[in-house]
Structure 1
Amino acid sequence: MSDPVSSIPNLGPASDISFTKAGITSADQVRALGAQACYSKLIKAGTKPHFIGFYALAMGLQGRPWNDCQGAEKAALRATFDKIKADAKGTKEKGRSDLEAALDLIGVIEKR
């Protein structure tokens, strides 16, 4: 049996639920995908983007406390987070209204 997502430092039991909704069910999957790909999947599955959540994940994958990120490293992670968020917004399917795309982004309607 593999370790749950919440076994990664900085991630708690609620992470198990949100990651499962994104199709990620184990800590091994998180490690294999990395912070960027995981967070992208979370946003596409309906998780509201939050910078602290992203960098807590990135720090946890390095075995570091969530608040250990500062200066240039934090600025670089912010730029990565902003790109992930922008890319997630660009996932609108052809033929869908903006409302349908927004509902899909937060996981309210199924993808076509």
Structure 2
Amino acid sequence: MSTPVSAIRGLGPAMETACSRAGIHSAEELRALGGDAAYLRLVTSGTRPHFIGYYALHMALQGRPWNDLGTEEKAAFRTRFDALMSEARSRPGDGDLPPDLRAALDRFGVR
């Protein structure tokens, strides 16, 4: 039995819907992917990139409130977010793939 994404404290129905659109259907799948890979899938499936959403996802996966960040940690997240968005922009047309196909390609390391 799988646990809904919204069962992770700090993630709600909107994140659950976005994850489903990205082919992530459970909290277990989200945790296994990790914050960066999951956020990249969210963005390439049509979720509008937002820095606060990025680090809020990471914080939720760590079991911490979204605003529990120090200045240095926030700067490190910003650097990672910017690099991830650069990677997302280098994947033209990726957002047009159906989420299930995109997930299968990721599992096989094709993309």
RMSD: 1.4
Aligned runs of 1:32-111 on 2, under 5 Å?
32-92=32-92, 101=93, 105=95, 109-110=96-97
In 2, are the aligned partners of 1:55 and 1:69 still within 8 Å (CA)?
no
Q: Which of structures 1 and 2 has the bigger CA Rg?
A: 1
Cα distance in 2 between the residues matched to 1:83 and 1:52: 15
TM-score scaled to structure 1, two decimals? 0.82
The one-letter code of the counterpart of 1:86 is S
Q: Which runs of no fewer than 5 residues in structure 2 stay unpaired?
A: 99-111
Question: Which consecutive segments of 4 or more residues in structure 1 shift more than 3 A?
Answer: none
Q: How many residue pairs are counted as aligned between the two chains?
A: 98
Alpha-carbon distance in 1 for matches of 2:80, 2:57 = 13
Q: Which 5+ residue runs of structure 1 have no aligned equivalent?
A: 93-100
TM-score by length of 2: 0.83
